[in-house]
Amino acid sequence: MTKASKSAAAAGPTAPDDAQVVGFLKARPDFLRQHPDVLAALDLAHEVDGSAVSLIERQTRVLRERNAALQVQVDEQLDAARYNEQLHARLHALCLNLFPATTFEARVAVVRQHMAELGGDALSLRLYGDSEATPEAYRADREHLDFQRQFGTFLRSRAPLCGRLQKGQLEYLFGAQGKDVKSAALTPLGRDGAVGLLAIGSHDVERFQPHLGTDFLRQLGETIGEALTATLPV
């Protein structure tokens, strides 16, 4: 036996470190129940007033905190579900109101009404192409250099987006109203965004945020795009 071994043997067994104790207790979750004397000796200092609380009380408090956190998550999911249900109800109502409107302007009026109910303070509709049947105020040449510069990324993504727009984009979409628009939602119109774009502007900077879900906006754009082009002669 070496001198080091003899010294270690003379010093006695080494006490387990924290990781070993934790590993043992995890492997033996019933250990403290089988050894109540050990459990009785375990007191933890209270973080608030320094008084001692038993391990069971501490565990109970931890479980309550976890349950509270889980309840918050459940409440958030329920709120999101209710919100999505409301959005789809609005989309359904929009469809029902679009059918009786048989002209382009009448359907645009329906869209404006419903977008206002969604919190839109300003609305812009732009249809691609140069069809004479499309009113001039709603036309947009997506191949035009200025339009590509302002909305090139949006055109390439063919996906809705929410957030704050640049000054030039706001002026193009909303004209004089653009200076009051603090957040906006853009969505392609028609399948694959081939018809045009819809922009909803809000005076509230928090109304349309980048993290908002875009499934509803995509469905909205497809519905409105098809409804508007159906009123125009081929």
| Token representation of residue 137 | 């105020």
Report the predicted TM-score, pTM, of the whole model to 2 decimal places.
Answer: 0.65
Residue listed under structure tokens 């007033």:
49
pLDDT at 55: 66
The contacts found for 38-41 with CB under 8 angstroms, 24 or more apart, are none
Per-residue pLDDT tens, the chain, 234 aa: give them: 555 555 555 555 678 888 888 888 888 888 877 776 676 566 555 455 555 556 667 778 778 888 888 898 888 888 777 877 887 888 889 999 998 999 999 999 999 999 888 888 999 999 997 777 788 889 888 888 889 999 999 989 989 999 999 999 999 999 999 999 999 999 999 988 889 999 999 999 988 888 777 888 999 999 999 999 888 876
What domains are there in the chain, each with its CATH number? 18-100 (no CATH), 103-229 (3.30.450.40)
Q: How far is CA 134 from CA 18, 47, 130, 192, in A?
A: 75, 70, 7, 20
Q: What's the helix, strand, coil split of the chain in %, to 5?
A: 60, 15, 30
pLDDT at 76: 81
Amino acid at 77: Q
- Nearest CA to 87 out of 131, 51, 118 is that of 118
Are residues 220 and 132 in contact, defined by beta-carbon separation less than 8 angstroms?
no
pLDDT at 62: 77
| Token representation of residue 148 | 């590509």
User: Which helix (H) or strand (E) segment is 189 a member of?
Assistant: strand 183-189
Amino acid at 46: H
Helix/strand/coil for 146: helix
